[in-house]
Amino acid sequence: MEPMTRFILATALAACTALPAFADPIPLSDLSDYLNDLRTAEASFTQISDDGAIATGTLYIHRPGRMRFEYDDSELLVMAGGGQVAIFDDRANTAPEQYPLRRTPLNLILARNVDLDRSDMILSHEGDETTTRIIAQDPDEPDIGYITLVFTDEPVELRQWIVTDSTGFNTTVILGELEEGGNISARHFNIPQELRDRGITE
């Protein structure tokens, strides 16, 4: 990645996350309603990691419980489905890394019933002139890290999230325009089928 490209992306990220002036944030109940009403969505994304790695691709969401990251110019594919998260890497001739979805902060977005008012879930809830920013953790799994969600208003829309894992490593995902309500094949989130298609046995 060219230095100028990194600078432009870093500047865009700073502009998206800065809090220039305080304002009333979107109520947690409205944010919960928005996430619960979100069934299917597709968007481009830019991913920025703490180590400086930058990647782009297409994100697919099918709530509850399903998400897929297709990376441009990369041999990586990340799928969430069937209660699992699988990371496929074409460079490796082995089974993908897999984790229970409930052991990742993304479970807070993909849960069947999102209730951000739940006790001990919200660590921070702030607003500025353009965005509402919350920091949330699973009160049943506080050791796995937390997720920062950034929303815009009128209409409410998820624009960005930052996953902070148990070691403090941050992965930022900046979303393009969300195309909601489309038909997304269940095949996009079928980890066992992906394994079969790749000729991988667990």
pLDDT reading at 3 higher than 70 = no
Check residue 19 and give its pLDDT. Answer: 44
b (16+ CB within 10 A) / e for 10-42: eeebeeeeeeeeeeebbebeebbebbeebeebb
In this structure, of 19-23, 55-59, 180-184, the range with the lowest mean pLDDT score is 19-23
> Based on the structure, what is the number of domains in the chain?
1
Answer whether residue 11 is part of any domain: yes
Condensed to tens digits (0 to 9), the pLDDT of residues 145-192 reads 999 999 999 999 999 999 999 999 999 999 999 999 999 999 999 999
Residue 66 belongs to domain spanning? 3-197
- Residue 149 half-sphere exposure toward CB, CA atoms < 13 A: 26
Check residue 7 and give its pLDDT. Answer: 39
Answer whether residue 202 is part of any domain: no
The single residue listed with the structure tokens 């990742």 is: 104
Check residue 202 and give its pLDDT. Answer: 60
Answer whether residue 78 is part of any domain: yes
DSSP label of 101:
G
Answer whether residue 134 is part of any domain: yes
Answer whether residue 44 is part of any domain: yes
Answer whether residue 187 is part of any domain: yes
The single residue listed with the structure tokens 């195309």 is: 179
Answer whether residue 9 is part of any domain: yes
Answer whether residue 16 is part of any domain: yes
Residue 148 CA to residue 146 CA, distance in Å, equals 7
- CATH number of the CATH domain containing 120: 2.50.20.10
Condensed to tens digits (0 to 9), the pLDDT of residues 116-130 reads 999 899 999 999 989
